[in-house]
Amino acid sequence: MNHLIFFPFESYWWFYALFTGFVFLMLGLDLGVFHRKEHEVSIRESLGWTIIWISLAMLFNIGFYYFSLSEFSSSAKFLSIPGFNPEFFAKQVSIEFLAGFVTEKALAVDNIFVFVVVFNFFAIPLKYQHRVLFFGILGALIFRAILIALGSVLMQYHAVILIAGIFLIFTGLKIIFSPEKIPDPAANPMIRLVRKFIPVTNEIHGKKFFVRLNGKTFCTPLFLALIFLEFSDVIFALDSVPAIFAFTKEPLIVYTSNVFAILGLRSLYFLLAGAVDQFRYLKFGLGFILIFVGLKMLWLNELYDGKFPILLSLGIIGFILALSIAASLFIKPSFHLKRKK
């Protein structure tokens, strides 16, 4: 039963389609209605949108529980399994969604520091940052969908799970012990490639990614910032997507939890951008979370007969996050921490 997929794509493709349609509807309302006119996003506005996105994720999870309960209670395939309890497994999948959402949300905090560096480097005005992030998030959603589809196939093989576990542990140790370096957009290979083939203007031309000057097409700093954000998300996704597969084998749960976490990343950026350096111990928490998830894949799941208790996983992740945030807020460093260039 541990390897049973409750929501295979071929049977629930319509669920994916409806959910994706809802996501694009919300994105359309976001850019076309609420942010149709470029403006600086205030703390109050970003807090409001952060609450909205988290609330939508929690409402979805409640609905997902009742949907799962209905599916499990009416399916002869599930009811024919000895000892199958529809209510228990409906709770199980909803907790798996919550664990995936919390994990992705926590790991996404690291993206916020990259956002700050990139916008400062390219001197992107505050009123245009939301537009860059909007298209950056849109590209991230497309790439995550591809990566999740690939992962749903590869994660069926035990060797791939072991490799992913080792990779997550290695990444966690690297986060903890490696000195922090400020990302250098100018050294990014994608940025270099763009500059090689497309002329770049140093000036901001409103909200445009491309501008035509003297009969020649130039890309603007907004486009370069977008390229760097997309490239960075590819790197982050290689950690976060396998991490969620450690909690669930359901591609539907990985997809929906990942999408909800990413959708709220823009508002979280505008809420925390000014205070991101205050959470100086959070990186250690994120490193330990990745190590824990890697250990789940390599050892802990097998230790618990194929499935480490999901509530215990959620509790451990919550404790690590709370401890690292509390340490950042209440422990005053005896020396000034600086990010190394």
Q: Which helix (H) or strand (E) holds 230?
A: helix 221-245
What is the torsion angle, in degrees rounded to the nearest 10, for the CA atoms of residue 264, residue 265, residue 266 and residue 271?
Answer: 90
pLDDT at 15: 96
CA 44/CA 233 separation, integer angstroms: 27
pLDDT < 50: residue spans in the chain: 335-341
pLDDT at 333: 63
Output DSSP code: residue 181.
Answer: B
Pairing of strands 216-219, 210-213: antiparallel
3-state SS assignment for residue 199? coil
pLDDT at 3: 60
pLDDT at 335: 47
pLDDT at 233: 82
* pTM for the model: 0.83
pLDDT at 275: 66
Dig out the tokens for 46 from the structure. 């970003």
- Rg (C-alpha) for the chain, rounded Å, is 21
Half-sphere CA count of 246, side-chain side, radius 13 A: 34
3-state SS assignment for residue 213? strand
Phi, psi angles (nearest 5°) of residue 4 = -75, 130
Closest CA to 309 of 72, 95, 82, 62: 95
CA 78/CA 23 separation, integer angstroms: 30
pLDDT at 90: 94
What is the torsion angle, in degrees rounded to the nearest 10, for the CA atoms of residue 61, residue 63, residue 68 and residue 69?
Answer: 120
Q: What are 114-133's pLDDT values in tens digits?
A: 888 888 888 888 888 888 88
